[in-house]
Amino acid sequence: MRCTPPRSPNLLLDRDGAAPGVTAHRASCEDAVKSGGKGAVGLSCHRCGEQFGKWEALEAHHLSKHAVTELVEGDSSRKIVEIICRTSLLKSESSCVRIERVFKVHNTQRTLARFEEYREAVKLKASKLPKKHPRCLADGNELLRFHGATLSCALGGAAGSSSSLCASDKCAVCRIIRHGFSARKEGKAGVGVFTTSTSGRAYESIEVPGVGGGGGGDDPAATRRALLVCRVIAGRVHKPLENLKEFAGQTGFDSLAGKVGPYSNIEELYLLNPRALLPCFVVICKA
């Protein structure tokens, strides 16, 4: 059995009608490094003009200073993101949650290349199966999903309205944007990275350290909750299992359906490979 979630409404997320990760994200990254490729000399940041001698240095600068841009009130992209998020928040137990800030993620070329390479690998694998799956063959079965994460730095904070990523490994949002998703850190139930079809369910899944048995070490009061709006390559989806441990040893699948709602809509989806996710927006919420 193959569960097929609804197609991602990515076309709604970019004001010129193009999928944000394919056009807008790539454009922003290519503009930032248009002087050359890895190892090139005389690289300059198109946003601030600072010069760099190595690709790695420019990439580090980009991640620290220009990885995200806040979408202000009235911005058309922000309006669409808010509509998508609020629709499901109002129908969940998180109905009292309000959206504070929305940031657009400008992924690096390295991150974009990794995502597209994974898509091609999924498509190639699907082409070799006896039973053909049109969505997998077309785009790797790309979907729009939510992932809940903690934010423990000044990103989007009231003081100074910071839009810089921190380098703390404890700040899940910044860590994901810098290094990508991790099966070890973002993985759930020993299966894969947990995503949802609704923002409300993603918000409810966030575990804040020191709250409700989520562990200790961090100051719960200083930790905020955020939603990552992501493009994901779902590939071939395995049907839900009563015991997730039964999935161990299964081959030929790229993701596992968790909870399935009406009309076979997959409300919860575990991505087996962290390269299958590309963060596009950060939505900072507050109860």
Summarize pLDDT for 76-110 with one digit per residue, the tens: 999 999 999 987 776 666 667 889 999 999 998 88
Residue 110: C-alpha distances to residues 181, 202, 239, 255, 268 (Å): 14, 27, 32, 23, 28
Report if residue 6 sits inside a domain: no
Q: Which of 227, 207, 205, 229 is nearest to 217 (CA)?
A: 207
More confident residue, 29 or 193: 193
Q: If DSSP codes are grouped into helix, strand and coil, which group holds residue 238?
A: strand
Q: Return the pLDDT at 196.
A: 94
**What single-letter DSSP state applies at residue 168?**
-
Domain with 234, as residue range(s), is 68-286
Q: What stretch of H or E contains 230?
A: strand 224-233
Report if residue 39 sits inside a domain: no
Spatial separation of the C-alpha atoms in residues 107 and 112, rounded to whole Å: 7
DSSP lists the bridge partners of residue 43 as 52
DSSP string, 99-158: EEEEEEE---HHHHHHHHHHHHHHHHHHHTSSS--HHHHHHSSEEEEEEEEEE-SSBT-T
More confident residue, 261 or 75: 75
Spatial separation of the C-alpha atoms in residues 286 and 99, rounded to whole Å: 6
Query: Which residue is associated with the tokens 């759930």?
Result: 188
Report if residue 212 sits inside a domain: yes
Q: What stretch of H or E contains 61?
A: helix 55-61
Report if residue 41 sits inside a domain: no
* Residue 25 pLDDT > 80: no
Q: Return the pLDDT at 57.
A: 87
Q: What is the mean pLDDT of residues 193-210?
A: 89
Q: Return the pLDDT at 95.
A: 64
pLDDT over 70, % of the chain? 73
* Residue 32 pLDDT > 50: no
**What single-letter DSSP state applies at residue 266?**
B
DSSP string, 247-277: GTT--S-SEEE--B-GGG-BSEEEESSGGGE
Report if residue 225 sits inside a domain: yes
Q: Return the pLDDT at 15.
A: 34
Amino acid letter, 209 = P
Spatial separation of the C-alpha atoms in residues 19 and 231, rounded to whole Å: 10
Classify residue 99 as exposed, middle or buried by CB count within 10 Å of its CB (0-12, 13-18, 19+): middle
Q: What is the CATH classification number for the domain harbouring 100?
A: 3.90.228.10
Q: Return the pLDDT at 58.
A: 85
Q: Which of 106, 109, 105 is nearest to 35 (CA)?
A: 109
Mean pLDDT of the chain: 79
Report if residue 58 sits inside a domain: no
Spatial separation of the C-alpha atoms in residues 90 and 124, rounded to whole Å: 40
* Residue 3 pLDDT > 70: no
Q: Return the pLDDT at 244.
A: 65
Total domains present in the chain? 1
* Residue 71 pLDDT > 60: yes
User: Confidence band (pLDDT; 50, 70, 90) for 263?
Assistant: low
pLDDT in tens, 148-180: 999 998 887 765 557 788 888 899 999 999 999
* Residue 124 pLDDT > 60: yes
Spatial separation of the C-alpha atoms in residues 234 and 250, rounded to whole Å: 16
More confident residue, 5 or 287: 287
Cα 88 to its chain centre, rounded Å, is 18
Spatial separation of the C-alpha atoms in residues 68 and 254, rounded to whole Å: 29
Report if residue 38 sits inside a domain: no
Report if residue 79 sits inside a domain: yes
CB 269 within 8 Å of CB 257: yes
